Structure 1
Amino acid sequence: MTTSVVSSQVGSQDESENDKLETECVFRGFLKSKASQDRQDDIERAIEGELEADEPSLINQQRNKQIGSQLAAIADQLDVQYRHVIDGLIDELKLTSENAYDNFAVLARRLLARGVTWGNIVVLFCFGYRVILRFFSQNIPNLIRSLSDIMVRFVVTEKISQWVKDHGGWIQVLNAGIGLESPWYHYGAVAVGLISIVALVVWWRK
């Protein structure tokens, strides 16, 4: 194997690992912000206990938390309007420790069937948060850690993280006038999310 091939493989592995760490940090910020918004103190403490104990060492860690917080603010409108619909879909998934990733992936792929958008990413994260809420009272060991791993694995494996990079990176969420802080983008993201949820329900109930 030539040196150039080895270097390429190492570079690709490093890039993939960075994608995982960055996605994980953004999703953690999302979960914690949503739990805080919803006054879910027990879940917020559990997030700190399960996730922040092994906080990824990223240079832009604080920025990624801010990104997660901004995504959570947008998800709040979706959550208020469609939480019962989302919870119904989660119940129908019949998630167990054995089928959790595969069943979650089936639903998530359908959500993204028309392509990745910022709005669909918000809906995807919102689903992850609602899964935690639905199962938290059952005292499942490492529930939040497991869900976070599933989300990160899906985002990286399904090339959503690549889409994010191709569209300016997660930082676009914070860029006023371009990202989700601008009013037209905020409501546009919510509208896309609502359409995606409705389409998902129609497909699932067929």
Structure 2
Amino acid sequence: MSGDCSVSCQCDDPMNTHQADGDDLKTMETETIVEEFVRLKLKQSAGIVQRRRTSTDMETQALIGRLIEISNELEAQYGERLNQDAEMWIKSATYEKFLQIAKGVFSDGIINWSRIVVLFMFAVKVVVNAISKGFSGLAGDVIKFVVKFVFIHGIYKWVESHGGWVAVLREYTPHSNSSGLFVFGLTLLIVCLLLTRKI
């Protein structure tokens, strides 16, 4: 009886309901940001136009615009490596292999806006490669993988501690996130070599 009561009380607890609702909103917001980032980058870099799944307010559009700006700055330095990683990942298309690449981006423990954007850029490269090879179904998978990684591996906690996604509008400048990017570049290259050996 006591077990039944505890389950009932937990289900009826408005605090738990509010917590769940809050988590759902955070997940939905993050999914929207990743999806819109991918959609706009596809339109910008590959001329691929995807239908917008969700409406976005002006503030969200502005922060996604800033994320796009950051990705444009990073494209020359990391675009080709990410494209190679994307091509290799498609051969297996598993969350485990995705995890290897995503963890490589943050392997030294540094989280900043540039590295978060690099993770998003990888999703774009996967979608472009997947569409070109006729595997368009992978597009939804990699977006889900990115969102899952953001929440499970502390990226969202970092974002939240800085004031949420909108904080990128006031925090990011071209040189504000340069710390650690050289180490990150080496890490990304090592991950690329490991994937080549394992696939």
TM-score past 0.5 threshold: yes
Q: Is the 8 A contact 1:29 1:64 kept in 2?
A: no
Who is 1:135 aligned against? 130
The answer to whether the aligner puts 1:109 opposite 2:103 as a matched pair is yes
Structure 1 residues 66 and 194: alpha-carbon distance in aligned structure 2, compared to 1, 3 A threshold: farther
Measured in 2, the distance between the counterparts of 1:161 and 1:91 equals 27
Larger Rg: 2
Q: Is the 8 A contact 2:63 2:166 kept in 1?
A: yes
Who is 2:18 aligned against? 11
- The partner residue of 1:33 within 40, 48, 59 is 40
Structure 1 residues 153 and 62: alpha-carbon distance in aligned structure 2, compared to 1, 3 A threshold: farther
Say what the alpha-carbon RMSD is for the aligned residues: 2.5
- The partner residue of 1:186 within 155, 174, 178 is 174
Given residue 143 of structure 1, which amino acid in structure 2 is its aligned partner? L
1:121-172 Cα distance to aligned partner (Å, 9 max, x none)? 0111111111112221122243332222222122122231221111111111
Aligned residues: 186
Q: Is the 8 A contact 1:25 1:61 kept in 2?
A: no
Greater alpha carbon shift after TM alignment, 139-148 vs 189-198 = 189-198
Percent of residue pairs bearing the same amino acid type: 22
- Measured after TM superposition, the shift of residue 4 of structure 1 is 9.8
Given residue 131 of structure 1, which amino acid in structure 2 is its aligned partner? V
Q: Is the 8 A contact 2:100 2:191 kept in 1?
A: no
- The partner residue of 1:87 within 83, 86, 93 is 83
SS of residue matched to 1:186? coil
TM-score, structure 1 as length reference:
0.77
- Measured after TM superposition, the shift of residue 204 of structure 1 is 4.4
Measured in 2, the distance between the counterparts of 1:130 and 1:140 equals 13
Structure 1 residues 23 and 193: alpha-carbon distance in aligned structure 2, compared to 1, 3 A threshold: farther
Alignment of 1:1-206 (within 5 A): 1=6, 2=9, 6-38=13-45, 40-41=46-47, 43=48, 45=49, 47-48=50-51, 52-53=52-53, 55=54, 61-97=57-93, 99=94, 101-115=95-109, 116-175=111-170, 179-180=171-172, 185-189=173-177, 192-193=180-181, 195-205=183-193
Measured in 2, the distance between the counterparts of 1:102 and 1:202 equals 17
Greater alpha carbon shift after TM alignment, 14-23 vs 3-12 = 3-12
Unaligned runs of at least 5 residues, structure 1: none
Measured in 1, the distance between the counterparts of 2:91 and 2:60 equals 29
Structure 1 residues 18 and 8: alpha-carbon distance in aligned structure 2, compared to 1, 3 A threshold: same
Measured in 2, the distance between the counterparts of 1:159 and 1:88 equals 26
Measured in 2, the distance between the counterparts of 1:3 and 1:143 equals 37
Unaligned runs of at least 5 residues, structure 2: 1-5, 195-199
TM-score, structure 2 as length reference:
0.79
